[in-house]
Amino acid sequence: MITFKLSATALLVGSALLLSGCGPQQQADAPQQAEQKQLTEADAQEFLAETETKLVQLYKESNRAEWIYANFITEDTASLSADVNEKLTVEMVQLATAAAKFDQVALSDDSRRKLDKLKLALTLPAPQDTAKTAEMAKIVAELGGIYGKGKYCQADGKCLSLGDMSAIMASSRDYDEQLAMWQGWREISTPMRPLYTRLIELTNEGAKELGYADTGAMWRSKYDMPADDFAKELDRVWDQVKPLYESLHCHVRSKLSEQYGADKVPLDKPIPAHLLGNMWAQSWGNVYDLVAPKDADPGYDVTELLAKHNYDEIKMVRGAEAFFSSLGFAPLPETFYQRSLFTKPADRDVECHASAWDLDAKDDLRIKMCIQRTGEEFSVIHHELGHNYYQRAYKDQPVYYQESANDGFHEAIGDTIALSVTPDYLKQIGLLDKVPDESKDIGLLLKMAMDKIAFVPFGLLVDQWRWQVFNGEITPAQYNEAWWQLREKYQGVAAPIARSEADFDPGAKYHVPGNVPYTRYFLAHILQFQFHKALCDIAGNEGAVHRCSIYNSKEAGAKLNQMLEMGSSQPWQQALEVVTGKPEMDASAILAYFAPLQAYLDEQNKGMQCGW
């Protein structure tokens, strides 16, 4: 996870707030004043320069307040953080409206791009009517509160949090126990339905006032191509991955049917959504033990290797930093080690979710983790540092471009680096004595596919549902029915019990009531493999791409840094071309990476009735 600047600023935008200080007469006079002053390129440049100075200071204040809150969670730090972010939101609203005044002015490409970045930083536009803006702000807060306080209380009076229920679903192999958790969590989202329905009405009104067909069209406009073309591009890439996903689905379903019986998991129907080890069936790695190939154990355990070689939390971070140094990147500043949070403090509450921070848009880089001494965490550290090196690479760009090429790139870069944490890499850094034979790769690839390939259709369908809600194709009377139609179409999973429009199952996924766009996660899962294969080619890798690590390749590091330094100053297609040699997303790298697994799945699925 990364802490964003421009791309995650100002969740709620009310156009009326932008006119603060203006009475009705002043608003009426505004068109007449605009006619008197014809705006020019020079005016735009002056506005952008003044705005940049203001943004740099605002972001620094906001980042520091957020950092203090995340590391010292109290009522006071929460209040301070909320105050600073309210100030930032109001300022961003005003700046976005001012930027819109240049919509009809002939401008240079650079000025136009900066102004668009400023406007599109907004996620939920609100109507100009101040009463509606206030109503919308209240709804957003209510939805967040319902989700955040959500818990499931059982008949015996014991109440479980989402974390408690997720842990049970990950480890339990009891059909009914998993069903109880699945069903219990979805009770919390039922009250969201009327609130969400009204929120859609309000934000669409705001989007239309900003010149967009609806809020979904506004979201899709952030991707340097026509909104409808972008949606088609996602479907094209999904079609490339679909055969591998269907093979994985077929194999996993057959193993679940063996575990639970064909009466509960029929071999010709969607998989019941509560049996895949995850509350939303979005990743399946928690049930890997049910499908693992015989003799798949690679013969080593990274957690044990870290302990054997006396890796504490700091040594794990230093080890990950050494990966980047091997690519030619400069060392992290010493302040990184002085100011980051690496272990959970015993004396206070902190937010332990791993994240990468850039507090001053220059060199104050940090990570915030409660590091566990495990192999999984060792990969996560590599991932988080990927964010930090990206942040530092684009620090010399104007503040408008101090973000990744599109919102999928930042996560993709972190994951690309983590893909290089291979057995060969572990051997090179002295953790592993001998790289296992390739026959052991199937288990490693299957485990990774159950997390990454299983996620791809879910990463796509969340916004497919939301975009159709925004544009009216899905009406409030069809919210739940349409949700499960998409779940079945893309994922081949089904609700384990009857659902109706009395339910609101989309609301059980944080990003829906939290109004966080989800397509970025789909993009990251495609791009990371495309980046990995391209960088492996640059590094001169001649073996299987899933065994490649770009560790020690200065050539790969230089090409990667060339792209990172661009930030979002150019369309993402140009940034992609720097590393991969072409401007289009291409999932063929996924197929190359998992080619041995595909052959294995084809063998396992012989005689099976795949599909649903």
- Name the residues annotated as catalytic: 353-354, 383-384, 387, 411, 511, 521
DSSP string, 88-139: HHHHHHHHHHHHHTTTTS---HHHHHHHHHHHTT-SEEE-S-HHHHHHHHHH
DSSP string, 46-88: HHHHHHHHHHHHHHHHHHHHHHHHHHS--HHHHHHHHHHHHHH
Sign of CA dihedral 394, 399, 401, 403: positive
Structure-token pair, residue 606: 């012989």
Pairing of strands 493-494, 271-272: parallel
Radius of gyration of the chain (CA): 25
Number of other residues whose CB lies within 10 A of the CB of residue 221: 18
Tell me the C-alpha distance between 533 and 53, whole Å: 40
Strands annotated E in 486-578: 493-494
**The residue count for the chain:** 612
3-state secondary structure of 488: helix
Tell me the C-alpha distance between 518 and 498, whole Å: 26
DSSP 16: G
Tell me the C-alpha distance between 38 and 44, whole Å: 11
Angle, alpha carbons 352-355-361 (nearest 5°): 140
Residue type, 479: Y
